[in-house]
Structure 1
Amino acid sequence: MDLVIGPLDLSAHVDEALAVQAAAFGLGPDEVAVRRQIVLRHMTYAGARALGATEQGRLVGFVYGMPNDRAHWWSTVVEPYLRARDNDAWLDDSFVITELHVHPAHQNRGLGRALITTITDAATQPRSILSAIDRDSPARGLYHSLGYQDLARQVLFPSAPKPYAVMGATLPLRRRSPAGR
């Protein structure tokens, strides 16, 4: 396997990345079109960075994020949920993982773990936050194994059909023990 993880010009490769996200998340063309505009806007924010995983030149996974800003839309939605649990300080001095997706044909190989640990290892903030669909899933299992804890659950985003959990972890993220735990 010729798998390479490295910096990704997400604006230039947005359609490839969204094809991976659509396959991983089951998105239709209308949702992809909306997300395309969001990704392009996010990449203009200060400190926004992306990594891609390519195999034989084809993008098979990506992650992007940025220093959190309370004025960003995501923060304004999650802040009341975090405040209700006295966790809203997590919105300050955190690196937010905006998206992390691996094509289904490449999942369960440690690629998501490698992408998220690599991007957060370069963060200057002392902690990381993210949101994930609030159900038991391989993604939530990965985040828990890396040290993310639930900061708020049943978070409702406008137009999202399912509730999300907001999770946070101190950096650097937890690594697997030598025994693989």
Structure 2
Amino acid sequence: MIDIKRLAVNEENLEQIVDLYHTVWKNEDPLIKQRIQKHSTYQGFKGVIALHRTGEVTGFSYGYVSLPGQYYNQLLSKEFKPDEKQKWLEDCFELVELAVHPSYRKQGIGKLLVSKLLEDAHTKTAVLTTQINNVPARRLYESLGWRSLKEPFFPNNQNDPYVIYGKQL
């Protein structure tokens, strides 16, 4: 049994989320905790977690209102023509992270997390990025009505190609 709840950014939840992040992305990003704490102060921040009946965090997702001056808003702004920028970024929720523990994938948890996260969003659009070769994520987003806005996208001239997805809310 999985329960989807609003994320309260507190020490206990953060430790579980950081552990899950490292498991999912197979890295030890030393700044993820600070980044989540910082993001939780952004306008329109909303996060959700998937909890197993044992209390284990099996997934999480979060985002916030995308505003000029924010890191990803600036990156995405450079990728869009003026009319696209106005359409997609002017009144936009930015889905920043989605992670589901490998043992709990293919059970609809990702869909539940994304749907709950966007529930009651007070923006016209939502955007996200994912790696071009992340086929499971791309299938998930496309099944939820997201569409590719630009690919390839190379954030900060990285070698790994990404795709920018958008969704009208």
TM-score past 0.5 threshold: yes
Partner of 1:35: 32
Q: Which residue of 2 aligns with 1:54?
A: 51
Shift in alpha-carbon separation, 1:11–1:134, aligned structure 2, 3 A = farther
Matched, 1:7 2:16: no
Partner amino acid, structure 1, of 2:49: G
AA paired with 2:33?
R
Partners of 1:79 and 1:88 within 8 A in 2:
yes
Deviation of 1:161 (Å):
4.8
Tell whether the 8 Å contact from 2:62 to 2:97 is kept in structure 1 after alignment: yes
The 8 Å contact of residues 148 and 164 in structure 2, kept in 1 or not, is answered as: yes
Aligned partners of 1:80, 1:116: CA distance in 2, in Å?
26
Alpha carbons 1:10, 1:17 under 8 Å: kept: no
Which amino acid in 1 is paired with 2:60? F
TM-score, normalised with respect to structure 1: 0.85
Output the aligned Cα RMSD: 1.7
Identity of matched residues, %: 25
- Determine which of 91, 109, 124 is the counterpart of 2:107: 109
Deviations 1:28-74 (A, max 9, x none): x2x2x122221111011121111100101110100101111121001
> Which structure 1 segments of 5+ residues have no match?
172-181
Q: Distance in 1 between matches of 2:97 and 2:134?
A: 18
Is residue 2:128 matched to residue 1:125?
no
TM-score by length of 2: 0.90
Note if contact 1:152-1:167 (Cα within 8 Å) is conserved in structure 2. yes
Write the mapping of 1:38-117 to structure 2, written as runs, cut at 5 A.
38-55=35-52, 56-83=54-81, 87-89=84-86, 90-117=88-115
Please, which runs of 5 or more residues in structure 2 have no aligned partner? none
The runs of at least 4 consecutive aligned structure 1 residues that moved more than 4 Å come to: none
Task: Give the conservation status (yes or no) of the 8 Å contact 2:60–2:99.
Answer: yes
Amino acid of the structure 2 residue aligned with 1:140: R
Q: How many residue pairs get matched?
A: 166
SS class of match (2:155) = coil
* Contact preservation (8 Å) 1:11, 1:43: no
Structure 2 contact 89–125 (Cα < 8 Å) conserved = no
